[in-house]
């Protein structure tokens, strides 16, 4: 190696650390935004609604009062379960979509996420 050669310009470790710190800050911001976003899914033609945040916290379960008049507990439980699982799936998809740019960037850094 030639005397005084310090490697390719702009490839210093400090620059990479700064990029990683910036990426971490952006990821934290995206996660905070995700916690504020909500998805709502239904079952039974809208008789049961479940709302969930992007970080998978259930914030609301709404049951049509007419559904309770029938007194069919098994049906109600099935609808709540169905709507909850659909809301979880939608929330996970929202999270994957929001975090995809970061996952792709980290893969580019050789972190294999």
pLDDT of 38 > 70? The answer is yes
Q: Which domains does the chain have, with CATH numbers?
A: 32-101 (3.30.1310.10)
Whole-number Å distance between alpha carbons of 97 and 50: 21
Average pLDDT, the chain: 84
Backbone angles phi, psi at 52, to 5 degrees: -135, 150
Going by pLDDT thresholds of 50, 70 and 90, the confidence category of residue 36 is: very high
The pLDDT tens digits for 82-107 are: 999 999 999 999 988 888 887 777 66
């Amino acid at each position: 190696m030639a005397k005084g050669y310090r490697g390719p310009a702009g490839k210093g470790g400090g620059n990479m650390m700064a990029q990683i710190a910036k990426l971490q800050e952006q990821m934290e911001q995206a996660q905070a935004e995700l916690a504020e976003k909500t998805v709502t899914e239904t079952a039974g033609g809208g008789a049961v609604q479940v709302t969930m945040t992007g970080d998978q916290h259930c914030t609301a379960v709404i049951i049509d009062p007419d559904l309770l008049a029938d007194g069919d507990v098994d049906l109600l439980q099935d609808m709540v379960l169905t709507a909850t699982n659909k809301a979880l799936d939608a929330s996970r998809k929202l999270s994957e979509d929001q975090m995809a740019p970061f996952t792709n960037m980290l893969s580019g850094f050789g972190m294999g996420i």
